[in-house]
Amino acid sequence: MSYRVKSIERNSQIKRVGKICFQLLIVSLALVALASCSKKVTRIDVEETKDLSGDWNDTDSRLVSKEMIGDVLSRPWISDFVQKSGKKPAVIVGEIRNLSHEHIAVGTFVGDMERELINSGRVDFVASKTERKEVREERSDQDLHASEETRKAMGEEYGADYMLKGSINTIIDSEGDEQVKYYQVDLTLISLVDNRKAWVGQKKIKKFIEKNKLRI
């Protein structure tokens, strides 16, 4: 009789241990499942705004180029130039300095601006310094290897009338987990003849960012 009681007692103990083991297993499985959530991809529209980190992103770049293009094409400097010289102004992109707190790909909105301005048919664009270097190398190579009919001569380059220069600046104010980011993009079109500024464009962006205090 006592043997049976003991065995039942042990049995229940083992059950308990088993139960604890089981619970531990479930918890660990749940943790593993949480950690290994598979990747999910959703396609979104290029125009859609999706702010993730609060850093400079595609929307900022697009907003800046849109604002700048609208502004630069609506100002009188183009018509003034055409009136005076009888031809379209030729523009070259100079240095756009990133003076901000972030590593920003300045090329994207400059590329956008370039495309819109060329496609508007009212402005000519001249290849930039690095692009020119490559083209010149190709030309000197043609000098040696291309046939006379197809060879392009040196010294026929189109000189630009204006240079587009600019900078991106940021001001950050933060307290605890809250942060206000202020971006200011300044672009200036400088006449290569007399250093006069033909156009000044500016776009400001302000963001309020709250950081998470907790995570899973």
Partner 1 sequence: MVYERCRAAGIMCFRAIVCLLLVLSVNGCAGYSANIRNVEQQLVVQNYQAALAILEKLYAGSSRDAVLYNLNKGMLLRMSGDYNASNTAFETAKQLMERVEAISVTEQTSSLLINDQVKSYEGEVFEKLLLHFYKILNYLELGKKDEARVEVLQTDQRLKEIKQKLSEDDLPEEAWIRYMSGIVFEDLGEWSDAMIAYRKAYESYRQYWAGFKLSIPYSLKAALLRLADRQGLYDELEQYKQEFGIQEWETVAQRSGQGELVIIVNGGLAPVKLADSATVISPSSGQLIRISVPVYVKRPIALSGANYNVAEQQGQLEIMEIVDPIAIKTLERNMPTIIARAAARQALKYQATKQGRQENAALGLLVNIGGALLEQADTRSWTTLPQTIYMARIPLNPGTYNLSLNIVSSYDGKDQALNFGGLEIKAGQNTYRSLHWIPHNVTNLPGNPREYTRVNANYGIR
DSSP 76: T
Identify the helix (H) or strand (E) that includes residue 23: helix 2-35
**Chain mean position to CA 13:** 63
Measured CA to CA in angstroms, residue 203 lies from 104, 148, 185, 200 at distances of 15, 49, 5, 10
Q: Which of 57, 59, 128, 170 contacts partner 1 by CB under 8 A? A: 170
Is 188 one of the binding residues for partner 1 (CB under 8 A)?
no
Q: Is the Cβ of residue 99 or residue 135 nearer to partner 1 in the bound state?
A: 99
Q: Please give the angle made by the CA atoms of 160, 166 and 169, to the nearest 5 degrees.
A: 170
CB of 165 to partner 1, least distance (A): 14
User: Among 213, 206, 207, 208, which Cα is nearest to 177's?
Assistant: 213
Straight-line distance from the first to the last Cα atom of the chain, in angstroms, rounded to the nearest whole number? 53
Q: Which is nearer to partner 1, 78 or 187 (CB)?
A: 187
Residue 39 binds to partner 1 (criterion: CB under 8 A): no
Question: Is 184 a binder of partner 1 (CB under 8 A)?
Answer: no
Instruction: Determine, following the binding rule CB under 8 A, whether residue 212 of this chain makes contact with partner 1.
Output: yes
Region binding partner 1 by CB under 8 A among candidate stretches 40-48, 72-80, 155-163, 174-182 = 174-182
State yes or no: residue 14 binds partner 1 (CB under 8 A): yes
User: Which residue in this structure is represented by tokens 């083992």?
Assistant: 14
Between CA 107 and CA 116, with CA 110 as vertex, the angle to 5 degrees is 135
* Tokens standing for residue 128: 């930039």
Stretch that binds partner 1, among 83-91, 93-101, 132-140, 157-165 (CB under 8 A): 93-101
Which of these ranges, 37-45, 99-107, 117-125, 145-153, lies near partner 1 under the rule CB under 8 A? 99-107
Binding site for partner 1 (CB under 8 A): 3, 6-7, 10-11, 13-14, 16-18, 21, 31, 35, 53, 97-104, 170, 172, 174-176, 211-216
